[in-house]
Structure 1
Amino acid sequence: MRKAKAQKRPLLPDPKFNDTLVTRFANNLMRNGKKILAYTIFYDAMERVKERNEDKEKSELEIWKLALSNIMPHVEVRSRRVGGATFQIPMQIRPDRKIFMAMKWLILYARRRKEKSMALKLASEILAAAKEEGAAVKKRVDTHKMAESNKAFSHFRF
């Protein structure tokens, strides 16, 4: 590489839960630079999760973290050209990328839900993911199946 690797900027924790992971999630949820709106949507979704929660021992933040861990993929396939042919090679995922992919999928499939507000959609997807169901968990399962079916090409690893 010609330049030095860019340093990671420190994230400030969010105001309510005092957690930097929540700040990362709000940054992914944000559109057009409206961070306060992203926080509002997230906090409303957490209130809905708290209301609809069947397991009273767990807080809404613990349920959200459980949902994220249920969505997190462990392997993914990457394309690699070898001798004119393109192979899908299964590879381990770095821990920070796992978190990013889980957040991205949770937000993507929450936006695709058919409910009134984004807070409702997000709350429903979080509760579904915490129970290991829903579209985001299906995406993780599909990603793992794809890696499993291409395991024969793992010797092409780069």
Structure 2
Amino acid sequence: MSSAFTVRFDLFFKKFTNLLMKDGKKIKASKILFEMLLILKKRIKKDLEKKNHGPSSQDFVEIPANFELFLLLSQALENVTPNLEVRKVRVAGSTYLVPAVLSKKKQETLALKWLIESTKKRQKNSKLDFATCLADEILDASKKVGQARQKRDDLHRLALSNRAYIRYRWW
């Protein structure tokens, strides 16, 4: 793996840990993140084993599970990351929702926040621990389904429907 790839995911894990943290308990947040990575790694390994036992198992080149894990995480993050936001602008007594482009940093932060938020909702409805629910949500996000992806699609739909008000954008 390239060093740029490693640095990007190092920053990603730091950001994710800080967003998971509650009441300054960073060790607990990093433990949850580590457990989630182990769960994802086991599921990826299980999926790779299923694929290997097919008819062309001799031609298979083994891909390290860590690389597959990073690909899965980057795909999930890319599928949840919003490109636009809507801001309220007051013009002549009326309030309009004006679409605006997000910076790369804010895009990633919103995507991670939405993953955490949807995981909390998922955990309320099940008896699974947070790490398992987070792994499920990331798997769903990598398949372009799940609550976090739905939130992104709703935001993009809202921005698209309000594109007529883009002329009120002055920032």
Normalised-by-shorter TM-score class: 0.7 to 0.9
What residue in structure 1 maps to residue 154 of structure 2? 142
Q: Write out aligned runs for 1:14-25 (5 A).
A: 19-25=10-16
* Residue 111 (structure 1) shift: 1.0
* Residue 62 (structure 1) shift: 2.4
SS at match of 2:79: helix
* Residue 59 (structure 1) shift: 2.4
Q: Which runs of 5+ in 2 are unaligned?
A: 1-5, 50-62
What residue in structure 2 maps to residue 116 of structure 1? 128
CA distance in 1, matches of 2:118, 2:159: 21
SS at match of 1:86: strand
Query: How many aligned positions are there?
Result: 144
What TM-score do the two structures reach when normalised by structure 1?
0.85
What residue in structure 2 maps to residue 103 of structure 1? 112
CA distance in 2, matches of 1:108, 1:86: 28
* Residue 76 (structure 1) shift: 1.0
CA distance in 2, matches of 1:42, 1:59: 17
RMSD: 2.0
CA distance in 1, matches of 2:25, 2:75: 27
SS at match of 1:73: coil
Q: Write out aligned runs for 1:38-53 (5 A).
A: 38-53=29-44
* Residue 115 (structure 1) shift: 4.0
Could you tell which deviates more after superposition, 32-41 or 45-54? 45-54
Equivalent of 1:71 in 58, 77, 80:
80
Confirm whether residue 155 of structure 1 aligns to residue 167 of structure 2: yes
What TM-score do the two structures reach when normalised by structure 2?
0.79
CA distance in 2, matches of 1:79, 1:51: 44
Q: Which runs of 5+ in 1 are unaligned?
A: 1-12
Deviations 1:61-91 (CA, angstroms, capped at 9, x unpaired): 3211211111000011100000110000011
Q: Which has the higher helix share?
A: 2
What residue in structure 1 maps to residue 57 of structure 2? none
Identity %: 35
